[in-house]
Amino acid sequence: MELEAFEIQKEIIEGLLSCTRCNGIYPIINSVPFLVEDLSMFFSIRAKLGGYLLLNVKNKKIKYLIRKSLQQIQKVGDDTTDLEKNWAVTYKKSKPSAFQINTSNIVKKLQHCNFVIEHGCSIGTMSAIAAKYHGKIFGIDKSFFALLEAKKRKISNVDFFLADSLSMPFGTMKFDAVMALNVLELIEPIKLLKTIKLQAQKFVIISDPYDYERGKSSVKVSLDAKSLRSKLKQAGFKIIDGTGKPSFISWKLDVNPRLELNYKVDLILAVVLHQ
């Protein structure tokens, strides 16, 4: 990868990453690297975000890249920009719940990990907690507005990236611990487990309320508590005692003054038995 930086403060605010092998170009906007293989496909359900970025970026090369990507959209889907922005606000204003406390306890008790990746990191809550006890943390998510909130934490050993978990944005890099918290309704579970198997060297922390009803956006193959554990075992992981049976841990989200969501989350800790 080659880097062209246009604005630098304590970190790169705007720039371009270029792949010397595939000729791919990846913009850095508001210090968030967009490691997206097909930017036009990404904007096909986020045209409003594309317009927002086009108006707010300063560099002409990045503006040209965004404009070109928007013009190359072949099929426009339902725009998720406002939805992603609203969820970022919800996560930010929600108070810590039993789920977060339980997960934090697992994270801090793990043997020290040099490299940790969190799939679907959102506003970076758990990545920030992991950073207190472990080495370098990589958080990835497809919500730009959530990542903007995550970046505000300004933690020296955490980096956040806009990327698709299934595209393997870090190639063949291995991680001591892989976290995927409450994302099985957003990322195809079977494919995500294959990705986790390739990445994990020691530990896997995975959770979900198994709420798959997402209309047209629903995943094709869903997993419940039993089948998730079975798939993890088939992939070469051992479920740690205490998480072998399904759990129902409270995860509260404050959507607005009149609406509170209370999920019951299943939390699993697994270790790698073999590579």
pLDDT in tens, the chain (275 residues): 899 999 999 899 999 999 888 888 999 999 999 999 999 999 999 999 999 999 999 999 999 999 999 999 988 889 999 999 999 999 999 999 999 999 999 999 999 999 999 999 999 999 999 999 999 999 999 999 999 999 999 999 999 999 999 999 998 999 999 999 999 999 999 999 999 999 999 999 999 999 988 767 788 999 999 999 999 999 999 999 899 999 999 999 999 999 999 999 999 999 999 65
Q: End-to-end alpha-carbon separation of the chain, Å?
A: 28
> Does residue 80 sit within a domain?
no
> Does residue 189 sit within a domain?
yes
Same domain? 36 vs 142: no
Same domain? 33 vs 128: no
Final residue of a structural domain among 38, 71, 104: 71
Whole-model pTM? Answer: 0.94
> Does residue 76 sit within a domain?
no
Same domain? 124 vs 15: no
Same domain? 51 vs 141: no
Same domain? 224 vs 158: yes
Cα dist from 266 to 103, 164, 223, 224, 239, whole Å: 11, 23, 12, 10, 13
Question: What is the total count of domains within the chain?
Answer: 2
CA–CA distance, 198 with 180 (Å, rounded to integer): 14
Same domain? 179 vs 48: no
Final residue of a structural domain among 14, 40, 71: 71
Same domain? 28 vs 146: no
Same domain? 190 vs 131: yes
Same domain? 56 vs 166: no
> Does residue 78 sit within a domain?
no
CA–CA distance, 224 with 133 (Å, rounded to integer): 31
Same domain? 101 vs 62: no
Same domain? 13 vs 105: no
Same domain? 55 vs 97: no
> Does residue 81 sit within a domain?
no
Q: Name the residue among 199, 191, 189, 209 with its Cα closest to residue 237.
A: 199
Domain that holds residue 42: 2-71
